[in-house]
Each structure stands twice: as C-alpha cells, then as structure tokens.
Amino acid sequence: MIDAEFVRAYEIAGADFTNAGRASTGIKETLKNMGLPSALIRRVAIAAYEAEMNMVMYARHGTMTLHVTPQDVTIDVRDEGPGIPDIALAMQEGYSTATAEMREMGFGAGMGLPNIRRNTDDLAITSEVNRGTALVMRVHVG
C-alpha cells in the first residue's frame, strides 16, 4: 500500500525581506489546517522560519518543499548560494557570518542552524561552497 503523502513547494527569493517569512507562515497554516498537534506545528514552524531566513539572507534563490505523511513532516530545503564551508562550525551556537546589516534587523545571533536542530528529530545538511546548501529536516508525527 502506498502511503498518503501531501507535497507542496515554496519558492524563496534571496534578499527579498518584504516577503520573508511567508513560506514558513504558509507551512504553519497548512499543518494547522491538517489538524496536526500544535506543539509539533510550532517546532516545524520555527525550523522552517530559520531555514527560510537563512535563504533570504544568504542565497540567491531557494525552494522549501513540504512533505506530510501520516508518519512525519519533512521539509526539503535547497538553495543556490554561497554554501557553508564548515558545517560543524555553523552548527555551533553563537557562530554567525551575518553582516552588520542583518544584525541590525535582529538576525545574526548564531542560533539559526542550532535552533533548527533543536526543533527537529532528524536533520541532514549538505553544502557545496559557491554552489548551494541542502537541508532535509524531519519531525515525527507519532
């Protein structure tokens, strides 16, 4: 039997601060509408928002693809951008490459990726410098 799966993709434009956060709000609304537990939705929403802001701040372009199955909620994040040279370093709390401008807007505390890891059950990151970054983040429904 093939399990039911809902898939929806969101396009993210780099440096588009006006619309920043819309994709993660859309994901959150969709999960609420599907009746998933609110504590789970909040975790997914926080992780999705951090990932979305990372793309808006650093990448040229990206996509977030939401997958919902009865077992888990997965967000597949892919961008074309500078990539992350040292993933282990980027995962450390407080490490940030944010510019003064981004810090001005309240970002750059070095909590993005650590926050994503804290709010997800599985997280896989792959990155290629000057090409882009891919994140697969998963939260179990059960």
Partner 1 sequence: MTDAHYHSIRFDTSACHGCMACMRVCPTEAIRIRRGQATMLEDRCIDCGECIKVCTKNAVVPLTASPAGLGHFDYMIAVPSPALYTQFDLDVTPGTIHQALRNSGFDAAATLSWSCGAVTHAIDLFLSEYRGPGPLISSFCPSVVRLVQIKYPELVDQLLPVLSPREVAAREAKQRASADTGLPLDRIHAVYITPCPAKMVSIVDHPGMDASHIDSAVGISDLFPLLAPVIREVQTRGAKVPETETAAGLGWAFSISLPSTLPAENTMSVWGLPNVLRILDDIDKGKLQRYTFIECHACFEGCVSGALTVENPYVARARALRLQQSLRKRDPVDPGDMRARHERGEFRTTVPFTMRPPQPLGRDIVTAITRMQERDRVAARLPGIDCGACGSPTCAAFAEDVVIGDADQAQCVVMRQGQLEEQIARMAAGGAPAVRDHNGARRSGDDRH
CB neighbour list of residue 114: distance below 8 Å, 6 or more residues apart: 91, 92, 93
State which of residues 15, 16, 19, 38 lies at the interface with partner 1 (CB under 8 A).
38
Round to whole Å and give the CA distance between 67 and 142.
15
Question: If we measure between CA atoms, which residue out of 15, 131, 2, 123 comes closest to residue 112?
Answer: 123
Region binding partner 1 by CB under 8 A among candidate stretches 11-19, 23-31, 81-89, 121-129: 23-31
If one asks whether residue 32 binds partner 1 (CB under 8 A), the answer comes out as yes
- 132 pairs with which residues across the strands? 80, 128
Scan residues 76-135 and list those touching partner 1 (CB under 8 A): 106, 115
16-19's contacts with Cβ under 8 Å and 24+ in sequence apart are 16/56, 17/56, 17/105
Region binding partner 1 by CB under 8 A among candidate stretches 11-19, 43-51, 77-85, 120-128: 43-51
Classify residue 64 by its DSSP letter. E
Least gap, CB of 115 to partner 1 (angstroms) = 8
In the shown chain, the binding pattern of residues 52 to 81 toward partner 1, with x for contact by CB under 8 A and - for none, equals ----------------xxx-----------
Note the residues at the interface with partner 1 (CB under 8 A). Answer: 4-6, 8, 21, 24-25, 28, 30, 32-36, 38-39, 41-42, 45-46, 49, 68-70, 106, 115, 141
